[in-house]
């Protein structure tokens, strides 16, 4: 661990409440460790209910300050934030490797995406607005109607560990662009980038109290979710937690991004060699710990055998181990509990009749590294098939035709994104019409995401959309003027 990562200039191991960094808390601490080496990166105090109250009150009071900021001012602040991220990009990438266990190449990609996220928000702040409503007919003859969009108010942002900076920014940047204050609770496994962001917000001169970052236990987090002064909940995480929070949040707006068990369809007449490389990486990069990691793969009967053999070879070529090594794609699982769960799910599938084509074993228990695993002959009731593995595990199954492949993808409680490898235009159109997902990616894996695009799912994968302009719409309400 380099000294720069713990220096105050990068992050402070405190909670940011109403513009003040507080080392006080409820007496308990959240210890953040390097996910591969196990060394302690920081001990963060868990906030009390009174501290959460202070943060909510500060955010609520800051609404008027933000309301008076022009779009140009908000855009300029966002540009300043993007500049700071770029200036500290190498340090931030190393921090993501350590607190998140993310391979260094992928961590650098996250930083590049962060800059895109913030700069897109800066641009959208200048062009985001309402509309002219056609009304000059019938009873509305001679009248004009326009809408203007206004910020909803305080946003409660709860974020996951796997993109510890960019998924925070997917909530914070659009909130800044439209003038919504934020109270952020980052993931306990990887909260340090969020604290870095808190320091950056001070440096760009974001109004005091308009951005707060608190580590806390479940009861204090639920206070944030329940509070009537909070106008919107934006949550990214597990479906179980997300739907629970929705059930207790009252009348506020809600955006939930809850993951899934993303699928790929491999059609005939496609480049199987290239697809095998893409799918292997899409299933295992960052040890499969992304919401749109490829988990279920359906290959048409005519190409199944050849594709299976190609895919097995690609799985076996993937590097595993220390995420700081540039040759590693499959790093550590985020913690021992998830490591043991993933291993048990694979063992359960094998005992139920599934066949291991690649992996299926622990590589390094001391560092929570599990092999890139490919199974076949699974049943749709097996956890590796019907639940979200969130690990380096995928299932490959044969389907008779394209229609059966579509039905197999839809046979899931989830519906986030799907990848369809096809050169058949009719099949592309049919996939768009029939797949019950938030996004269909043609000739790429479901893990493809460009930050400005609308992103979100259906069914148990959540509701609402992220992607800067789309999140800004979620965080505002139209107000009609007729004259």
Has 257 been annotated as catalytic?
yes
CA of 248: how far to CAs of 214, 223, 375, in Å?
A: 20, 10, 39
Is there a catalytic annotation at residue 291?
yes
User: Exposure pattern of 120-158 as b/e (b: 16+ CB <10 Å)?
Assistant: bbbbbbeebeeeebebeeeeeeeeeebeebebbbbbbbb
CA pseudo-torsion sign 13, 160, 248, 31: negative
- From the number of C-beta atoms within 10 Å of its C-beta (0-12, 13-18, 19+), residue 445 rates as buried
User: DSSP secondary-structure letter at 411?
Assistant: S
What is the Cα 146 distance to its own chain's centre?
35
Describe the chain by its helix, strand, coil percentages, rounded to 5.
40, 20, 35
State how beta strands 393-399 and 296-300 pair. parallel
Question: Can you read off the two tokens belonging to residue 155?
Answer: 């946003």
Contact yes or no for 266/288 (Cβ under 8 A): no
| DSSP helix/strand/coil, 359 | coil
What are the φ/ψ torsions at residue 254 (nearest 5 degrees)? -140, 135
SS3 labels along 170-236: HHHHHHHHHCCCEEEECCCCCCHHHHHHHHHHHHCCCCCCCEEECCCCHHHHHHHHHCCCEEEEEEE
Catalytic residue (one of 124, 180, 291, 314): 291
In terms of Cα–Cα distance, which of 8, 85, 22, 1 is closest to 215? 22
Closest CA to 55 of 189, 152, 198: 198
At residue 394's C-alpha, the angle toward residues 375 and 390, to 5°, is 135
* Choice among 110, 124, 257, 397 that is catalytic: 257
Quote the distance between the C-alpha of residue 144 and its chain's center. Answer: 41
Catalytic sites, residue numbers: 257, 291
């Amino acid at each position: 661990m380099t000294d720069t990562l713990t220096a105050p200039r990068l992050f402070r191991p405190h909670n940011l409440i109403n513009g003040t960094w507080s080392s006080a808390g409820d007496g308990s601490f959240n210890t953040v460790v390097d996910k591969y080496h196990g060394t302690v990166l920081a001990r963060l105090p868990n906030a009390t209910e009174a501290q959460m109250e202070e943060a909510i009150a500060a955010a609520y009071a800051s609404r008027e300050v933000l309301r008076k900021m022009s779009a140009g001012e908000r855009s300029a602040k966002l540009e300043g934030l993007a500049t700071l991220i770029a200036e500290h990009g190498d340090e931030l990438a190393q921090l993501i490797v350590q607190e998140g266990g993310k391979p260094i190449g992928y961590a650098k990609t996250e930083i590049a995406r962060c800059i895109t996220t913030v700069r897109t928000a800066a641009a959208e702040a200048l062009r985001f607005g309402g509309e002219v409503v056609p009304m000059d007919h019938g009873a509305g003859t001679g009248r004009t109607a326009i809408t203007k969009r206004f910020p909803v108010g305080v946003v409660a942002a709860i974020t996951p560990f796997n993109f510890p900076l960019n998924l925070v920014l997917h909530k914070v940047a659009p909130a800044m662009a439209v003038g919504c204050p934020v109270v952020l609770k980052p993931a306990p496994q990887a909260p340090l980038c969020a604290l870095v962001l808190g320091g950056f917000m001070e440096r760009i001169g974001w109004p005091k109290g308009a951005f707060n970052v608190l580590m806390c236990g479940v009861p204090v987090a639920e206070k944030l979710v329940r509070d009537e002064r909070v106008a919107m909940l934006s949550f990214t995480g597990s479906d179980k937690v997300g739907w629970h929070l929705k059930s207790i949040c009252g009348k506020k707006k809600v955006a939930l991004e809850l993951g899934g068990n993303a699928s790929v369809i491999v059609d005939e007449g496609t480049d199987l060699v290239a697809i095998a490389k893409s799918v292997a990486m899409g299933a295992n990069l960052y040890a499969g710990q992304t919401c749109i990691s490829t988990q279920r793969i359906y290959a048409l009967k005519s190409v199944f055998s050849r594709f299976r053999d190609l895919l097995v070879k690609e799985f076996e070529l993937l590097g595993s181990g220390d995420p700081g090594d540039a040759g590693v794609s499959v790093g550590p699982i985020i913690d021992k509990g998830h490591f043991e769960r993933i291993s048990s799910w694979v063992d359960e599938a094998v005992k139920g009749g599934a066949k291991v084509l690649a992996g299926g074993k622990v590589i390094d228990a001391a560092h929570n590294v599990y092999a890139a695993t490919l199974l076949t002959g699974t049943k749709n009731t097996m956890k590796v098939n019907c639940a979200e593995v969130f690990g380096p595990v995928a299932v490959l199954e044969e389907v008779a035709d394209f229609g059966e492949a579509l039905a197999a993808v839809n046979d899931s409680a989830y519906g986030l994104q799907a990848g369809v490898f096809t050169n058949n235009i009719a099949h592309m159109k049919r996939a768009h019409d029939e797949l019950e997902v938030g996004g269909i990616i043609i000739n790429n894996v479901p893990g493809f995401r460009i930050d400005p695009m609308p992103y979100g799912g259906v069914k148990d994968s959540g509701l609402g959309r992220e992607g800067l302009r789309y999140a800004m719409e979620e965080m505002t309400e139209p107000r009609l003027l007729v004259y």
